[in-house]
Amino acid sequence: MISISFRRRATDRIMKTLFLLSVFLVILPLVLIFFDLLWKGAKELKWSLLTDLPRPVGEPGGGIANGIAGTLTLAGLAMAGGIPLAVLSGIYLAEYGKGVLASLVRFAVDLLAGVPSIIMGIFGYVLWVLPMKRFSAWAGASALAMIFIPIVVRTTEEMLKTVPVPVREAALALGIERWKTTLFITVRTASAGIITGILLAMARILGETAPLLFTALGNQFWQTGLDQPIAAVPLQVFSYAISPYDDWHDKAWAGAVVLILMVLVLSIGARVLTRERN
Amino acid sequence: MNSRGNIKDFLFEKTTSLFALCVLALTLLLFALLVRESLPAIRKIGASFVTNTTWDPVLEEFGALPFLYGTVVSSFLAILIALPLGVGAAIFINEFAPDWLKTPVSFLAELLAAIPSVIYGLWGIFVLLPVLRDYFMKPVSRVLGWIPLFQGPVYGPSMLAAGVLLSIMIVPFILSVSREVLATVPKVQKEAVLSLGGTRWEMIRIVIGQHCIPGIFGATILGLGRALGETMAVTMVIGNRPDIVLSLFQPGYSMAAVIANEFTEATGELYLSALVEIGLVLFFLTIVVHLVAKLILNRMVPEARKGAAR
């Protein structure tokens, strides 16, 4: 039996306690944020929040229905453009990507993933708002797509690479053409992983505020066209939060609850999907 | 049949490569547009853009140093807080925690990373700011107010608040990458230390000293990249005053925040161009930081790439 000196044992204990403490300190804000969301959001969390348009300050009631519609529209547009672009690029990188082009694209994707979202807002602004002289859903959706694309390209490539090479070889040996093998066997095998990546990227862009500030701009009413400014839940949360009125602060909290529910449903859904696959 | 298949294969490959080319083109377009729109400001203002401390859009004087200062200081403050917490928590989860605890804790950390930044900002304004002001800043200011770092009146919105809020936001990244780095240590080495009679802490100290310092450094730089570009949460608690003050209790301003606040009201070509140039500087800053982090992590741990992607 080796005896360990008291000093060494004490140090071990103290360090362990400190590490445990840091786990608590990391988790604590999460608990507090969820608690505060429910506590402060409960006041305005009514059915009308989901069905009504915003009302002027002082008037009771009113909701963020246009923001919810706007957020879904913006995410839908960004994904309609982003999914084909990103998934096919991911297929290229995983299945054919050995040359100079592939290294350049990988580098570009790495780079895009590191660009702050506010800069994607500048991108949408310069691309759409400057020439059209008008804030629009198109501008907002382009900014969101730039955030969406690198995440999905990367997960698609990674997921395809987890499909064992013998699976491809078996299909090819059966005389199935390569493109069919890729689309109907390799991509299909990895589809749960690819969809997980898409859901996580969607959760990310649903909550983005900064790239929408000067592209989508926000709107008090229902949008009339995609070339018009459009409302979004994160924008509403932001403008209610920095307003000087108490009843708008309550609305900000309620809007934040709606926003976090959308994000959580997607992230947890994505997690469940990955777990089922394993 | 064979030749028909080849043509289809060829077309399929070329189609996918075309889409990949589009991603590359979009990246170049982003860069080109940023440069094009900054050109008027670059030509007119020149190098004094990053050395001048006066930001006065009315007089068309554009010095971006206060924003650069605010971005760097708030981010370093965030790292200073988040690094020990993130690494400590990673060590506990990997080395001490029972297996059943690992999944829920890392799930919670992932949730923390999924919260939209505007919600952090909202929470920052209404919960963190009052608590920080009444229970930390006021007492500290009363006792240590003579130290330059804590000087001046206490408002609440401040560099310190931005740093604390940012640290909460980046801690999940540091935590998850640190766990991946810790997981790369060969098990035999850990067992060797333990079998020689070392305590767990001694094992961790030796193993981390041997193996994990570069990886944890990479995790830190990655977190730094996140913090530098964070917009909403910082905008909501930093106070938005373009001054360079040493005191952490005073309001500051950051590059992302000034773009967020002033872009829609930028009248005049030079004003808008100056804001885009701030964006360009931020673009380079975050990219350099991000690529350095990836370089370190890729060399360290191939698996860490996944964590770095998020």
Reported as half-sphere exposure (CB side, CA atoms, 13 A), residue A98 has a value of 3
More confident residue, B273 or A57: B273
Mean pLDDT calculated for residue range A254-277: 88
Q: How far is CA A173 from CA A177, A178, A181, A237, B1, in A?
A: 10, 10, 10, 56, 15
Task: Identify the pLDDT of residue B301.
Answer: 58
Distance CA A135, CA B181 (A): 45
Tens-binned pLDDT, residue by residue, of chain B (310 aa): 444 558 889 999 999 999 999 999 999 999 999 999 999 999 999 999 999 999 999 998 999 999 999 999 999 999 999 999 999 999 999 999 898 988 888 888 888 999 999 999 999 999 999 999 999 999 999 999 899 999 889 999 999 999 999 999 999 999 999 998 998 888 888 888 889 888 889 999 888 877 888 889 989 998 999 999 999 999 999 999 999 999 999 999 999 999 999 998 888 899 999 999 999 999 999 999 988 888 888 877 554 444 444 3
The Cα of B284 is separated from the nearest Cα of chain A by a number of Å equal to: 9
Longest C-alpha distance within chain B, in Å? 86
What is the pLDDT, as a whole number, of residue A274? 77
pLDDT of residue B102: 86
Residue where the block lists tokens 């859901």: A199
- Report yes or no on B18 lying in a domain: no
Instruction: Tell me the CA distances in angstroms from B100 to B90, B96, B103, B124, one per residue in order.
Output: 15, 12, 7, 32
Domain annotation covers residue B92: yes
Tell me, yes or no, whether B32 lies in a domain. Answer: no
Structure confidence at residue B280 (pLDDT): 97
CATH of residue B187: 1.10.3720.10
Rounded distance, CA A120 to CA A123, Å? 5
Q: Residue range A78-98: average pLDDT?
A: 95
Look at residue B55 and give its three-state secondary structure: strand
Residue A275, token pair as written in the block:
């777990």
Q: What is the pLDDT of residue B298?
A: 80
For residue B196, the chain A residue with the least C-alpha distance is A2
Angle between helices A117-124 and A137-161 in degrees, nearest 10: 130
CB-based contact, B110 to chain A, within 8 Å: yes
Angle at B251 between CA A28 and CA B164, to 5 degrees: 15
Provide the number of structural domains found in chain B: 1
Which has more pLDDT, A47 or A61?
A47
Mean pLDDT computed over A258-267: 94
Positive or negative, the CA dihedral A13, A17, A20, A26 is negative
pLDDT value at residue A107: 94
Pick left, alpha or beta for residue A219 (phi over 0 → left; psi -120 to 50 → alpha; otherwise beta). beta
pLDDT of residue B277: 96
B255: region left, alpha or beta (phi > 0 left; psi from -120 to 50 alpha):
alpha
Which residue, among A24, A33, A202, would best test binding to B if mutated, counting the most B CBs under 10 Å from its CB? A33
- Statement: residue A261 has pLDDT above 70: yes
Two tokens, residue B21: 């080319």
Is residue B15 one of the residues assigned to a domain?
no
Q: Tell me the one-letter amino acid at B110.
A: E
State the residue range of the domain holding B61: 47-309
Determine, for residues A8 and B199 on separate chains, whether the beta-carbon distance falls below 8 Å: yes
In chain A, pLDDT over 90 holds for what percent of residues? 79
Where do we find the tokens 């140039």? B277
Domain A66-277: give its CATH superfamily: MetI-like (1.10.3720.10)
- pLDDT of B5: 57
In terms of phi and psi (left: phi > 0; alpha: psi -120 to 50; beta: otherwise), the region of B156 is left
B237 is a domain residue: yes
pLDDT at A277: 55
Q: Is pLDDT of A92 > 70? A: yes
Q: Is there a domain that residue B40 lies in?
A: no
In this predicted structure, which of A17-21, A89-93, A94-98, B301-305 has the lowest mean pLDDT? B301-305
Judge whether B16 lies within some domain: no
Whole-structure pTM value? 0.93
Residue B157: CA atoms inside 13 Å, Cβ hemisphere, count? Answer: 18
Phi, psi of A244 (to 5 degrees): -85, 5
Does the residue B17 lie in any domain?
Answer: no
Measured distance CA(A271)–CA(B277) in Å, rounded: 39
* B115–chain A Cβ distance below 8 A for any pair: yes
B38 touches chain A (CB under 8 A): no
Domain definitions of chain A by residue range: 66-277
Residue of A nearest to B225 (CA): A114
Q: Measured between CA atoms, how close is A126 to chain B, in angstroms?
A: 7
